[in-house]
A and B are shown apart, each in its own frame.
Chain A
Amino acid sequence: MANVLDLRRRIRSVKNTRQITKAMKMVAAAKLRRSQERAFAARPYARMIASVLASLVRRVDIYDSDTGEAKNPLLMAREEKRVTVVVVTGDKGFAGPFNANVLKATHRFIADHTDFDIDLEIVGRKGIGVLRRSYGLSSAAEDEQQSQSRQPRTRKARVEIVGEHGGLLDKLSFEKAAELSRTLIERYASEETDAVYLVFNEFQSVISQRIVVERILPIKEIGKPDIAVATEMEREEREEMARAAQSAGVSIQAEDTRQADEEAAKFGTAQVDYIYEQSPSDLMGALLPRYIATQLYHAMLESVAAEHAARMTAMDAATNNASEMIDAYTLTMNRLRQAAITKEIIEIVSGAAAI
């Protein structure tokens, strides 16, 4: 058995660890609050784009009356043979099961769709690190790294990585999300890919999150997410999250956005005949890519919030574990000390009796 000194030393080290995890938890909580605000501030724009598009769709013939095909390529569904999957992970670890969950969903998607060729577009350093181990870089992505030459792509494996975006989430701006969405749209429009899926951690509030596989291209119905798979949080996880949030002073309820949402939903939908400065189909053509970009941006914002929430919970658990460990060690240490004292007294008493 360890002696008192050893135990004292170990308690000190665990206390230091606890201090660090506690600080990390508070930092994560502060960041969570900020990212929640950002996600909230981004909502009116997303809502307005969706509602103006929805009202345009009702007024404009999006299908060609002769061929029955959609006029805009982004609305046209093709048979899915080659799909692109955008995986949104985090840049850093120490976030509990956050990254693992997203990657698990990705692996499952790949395993479930063995008849597709899959291109991976990875956001977040953690995802890049893990997926690089299983899948190779596509020749197109290699080309881009070496030279700018654009050759027709030859596929080496069923699943290939076509793009990596590390550090994008750190200072997330709409511009960056729009850039990625432009690449995706271009690839879709030129029929390099037949559908684009998004795997990310959806964040409504601290206690309402899920891993979602959402199809963002082709657009099926505007304003309604086309969700392929969704994994809800376990009850246990949710309780842990709520506990961590409460101790860090983060509100667990989603902010009341109903009024703002309703107002935003009115954009472009008034029951009047608008004068269209550009032709409605031109407007439509300009709006659709922006709609995709907004969806992507929003998914990233939510993923960032979810990452901070996961980190906060993980660090809360770590802090609690450290406290428990300290308690246990303190108890053993006190017992040991008491045992030593008792032993000494017995020795003195029996020594005195012997005289």
Chain B
Amino acid sequence: MAENNSLRVRLVTPEKIFIDGTADSVSLPSSSGYLEVLYAHAPLLAELGPGEVTLHGGDVGDRQLFVAQGFVEVLPDRVTILAESAIPPRDIDVAEARQELDRGQKMWNEAGDVARHYDEANRVIREAEERIAAAGRAGKTA
């Protein structure tokens, strides 16, 4: 087996350890764009944005999970993902995401002149949009 060039991947949420296994490659939604991690990647620490984590190969098979906020640590032989929530894209509640989107837009309109409120509103909007998009890619429409 190609034991020596597969990554050990763990996805941890506040509730539990979601995935603990190996994979040949992992693609991650960093807050500034997607990145693909293979074996022997340089050590990296990044904040995750909303998006899908995709695992290829390895003993957990191909897995795809939508994560909202979190962090990732990449070491040459190991990837550890800390995410506030993780959900398979096909389980995403599109109606709820749309509500969230509305809430975000309302927040944006009401933010007044406080920069912090705009940031918060943008975060909510982006997360909701990504959520809807991910659900769409998984072949699910509202």
Q: Which residues of A contact B (CB under 8 A)?
A: 38, 41-42, 44-46, 48-49, 52, 173-175, 178, 267-268, 270, 272-278, 282-283, 286-287, 290, 294, 297
Residue of A nearest to B35 (CB): A277
Known: A52-B71, A283-B71. Contact between A42 and B44, CB under 8 A? Answer: no
B16 touches A41 (CB 8 A): yes
Known: A49-B82, A283-B71, A287-B71. Contact between A275 and B16, CB under 8 A? Answer: no
B15 touches A274 (CB 8 A): no
Neighbour of B14 across the interface among A272, A274, A278, A294, CB < 8 A: A294
Known: A290-B84, A297-B14. Contact between A274 and B47, CB under 8 A? Answer: no
Chain A contact surface mostly = helix
**What is the CA–CA distance of A274 and B46 in the complex, to the nearest angstrom?**
10
Residue of A nearest to B20 (CB): A44
Known: A45-B82, A52-B45, A52-B73. Contact between A277 and B32, CB under 8 A? Answer: yes
A178 touches B84 (CB 8 A): yes
A278 touches B44 (CB 8 A): no
**What is the CA–CA distance of A42 and B82 in the complex, to the nearest angstrom?**
12
What total of A-B pairs shows CB separation below 8 Å? 77
B80 touches A267 (CB 8 A): yes
A174 touches B47 (CB 8 A): no
B46 touches A48 (CB 8 A): no
**Could you tell me which residues of chain B, from 82 to 138, have a CB within 8 Å of some CB in chain A?**
82, 84-85
**What is the CA–CA distance of A268 and B14 in the complex, to the nearest angstrom?**
17
Shortest Cβ gap from B62 to chain A (Å): 24
Most interface-central of B17, B32, B35, B73 (chain A CB within 10 A):
B73
Contact partners of B47 in chain A: CB under 8 A:
277-278, 282-283, 286
Contact partners of B32 in chain A: CB under 8 A:
277-278
B75 contacts A by Cβ under 8 Å? yes
**What is the CA–CA distance of A286 and B16 in the complex, to the nearest angstrom?**
21
A275 touches B43 (CB 8 A): yes
B44 touches A44 (CB 8 A): no
B45 touches A275 (CB 8 A): yes
Residue of A nearest to B44 (CB): A275
Contact partners of B46 in chain A: CB under 8 A:
276-278, 283
A45 touches B43 (CB 8 A): no
B84 touches A44 (CB 8 A): no
B60 contacts A by Cβ under 8 Å? no
Contact partners of A283 in chain B: CB under 8 A:
45-47, 71
Known: A41-B17, A42-B16, A278-B31. Contact between A273 and B80, CB under 8 A? Answer: no
Contact partners of B75 in chain A: CB under 8 A:
270, 272
**What is the CA–CA distance of A45 and B70 in the complex, to the nearest angstrom?**
11
Known: A276-B46, A283-B45, A286-B47. Contact between A174 and B80, CB under 8 A? Answer: no
Contact partners of B73 in chain A: CB under 8 A:
52, 267-268, 274
B27 contacts A by Cβ under 8 Å? no
Neighbour of A174 across the interface among B14, B35, B71, CB < 8 A: B14
Shortest Cβ gap from A49 to chain B (Å): 7
A44 touches B45 (CB 8 A): no
**What is the CA–CA distance of A42 and B46 in the complex, to the nearest angstrom?**
22
- Residues 28-57 of B, flagged 1 when their CB comes within 8 A of A and 0 if not, give 001110010000001111110000000000
Contact partners of A286 in chain B: CB under 8 A:
47, 71
B82 touches A272 (CB 8 A): no
A272-B43, A273-B43, A290-B84 provided; 18 other pairs, C-beta below 8 A? A41-B16, A42-B14, A44-B12, A48-B12, A52-B45, A174-B14, A174-B85, A175-B84, A267-B82, A270-B75, A277-B47, A278-B32, A278-B46, A278-B47, A283-B45, A286-B47, A290-B69, A297-B14
Residue of A nearest to B16 (CB): A41
A42 touches B15 (CB 8 A): yes
**What is the CA–CA distance of A45 and B69 in the complex, to the nearest angstrom?**
13
